[in-house]
Amino acid sequence: MTNQTERWWDLLSVSLFLAALITVTYRLADTRWTDNLEIVIGLAFIGGVLGLALGYSRFSSQTVGFFGLIFTLFFVTWQLGELTPSNYIWLERLWLLGDRMWQNLVLFLRNQPLNDSILFLTNMALLFWLVGISTGYQLTRYGKPWQGLIVLGIALVVIDLYHPPLAQSGVATALFAVLALLLFSRMNYLKHAR
């Protein structure tokens, strides 16, 4: 097992990372490309916090990967299942969700128009969940959150390119850039202080 003192826990770095993650997911939800995009915000935040906790833990990389898989299956399915009618029991909700996804996947593969946005919503939920959990893990375990920040930056650029201009669209990009630069500076300072 690895010694606990080798972890990169720093409250300011954690706060900057979570703020950058939430900034991008809020910008995505602000587009209103589909209903219920706000679930991505919650999933990204929960994923980021769990990633930070897993990175700080003494678990081996294999054990962390197993827990990450279990958390992913639980939280993403739970949030997507909440979008089904609440008068069904959870087993029926999961069945309805799976059926919706299967029908839309078949239509997508046949190159036919989709009337349901469940595939897009699932992809966005998985993308930002995985970025949150993996970047949180990389930040506290190795002090290297750069891959996740690059993915978040690319996602923000794509969102800005494909969303009609808003008065505040540049605010999210500027805020993300400042947060990423502050995180880079803080991590650089911490590496030199060690």
Of 189, 165, 168, 183, give the one whose Cα is nearest residue 21: 183
Instruction: Decide which of 144 and 3 is more confident.
Output: 144
Query: Tell me, what's the pLDDT at 194?
Result: 74
| Local confidence band at 46 (pLDDT 50, 70, 90 cut-offs) | very high
Range of the domain at 25: 4-193
CA nearest neighbour of 12 among 193, 151, 171: 193
- Reported pTM: 0.90
5, pLDDT greater than 60: no
Is residue 156 within 8 Å of 140, Cβ to Cβ?
no
- pLDDT above 70 coverage of the chain, percent: 94
Half-sphere exposure at residue 72, Cβ-oriented, CA atoms within 13 angstroms: 19
Q: What are the two backbone dihedrals, phi and then psi, of residue 172, each rounded to the nearest 5 degrees?
A: -65, -40
User: With contact defined as beta carbons under 8 Å apart, do 29 and 37 qualify?
Assistant: yes
* Number of separate domains in the chain: 1
User: What is the residue-averaged pLDDT of the chain?
Assistant: 92
Question: 20, 176 in Cβ contact below 8 A?
Answer: yes
DSSP 139-166: HHHHS--HHHHHHHHHHHHHHHHHS---
Indicate the pLDDT class of residue 71, thresholds 50, 70 and 90.
Answer: very high
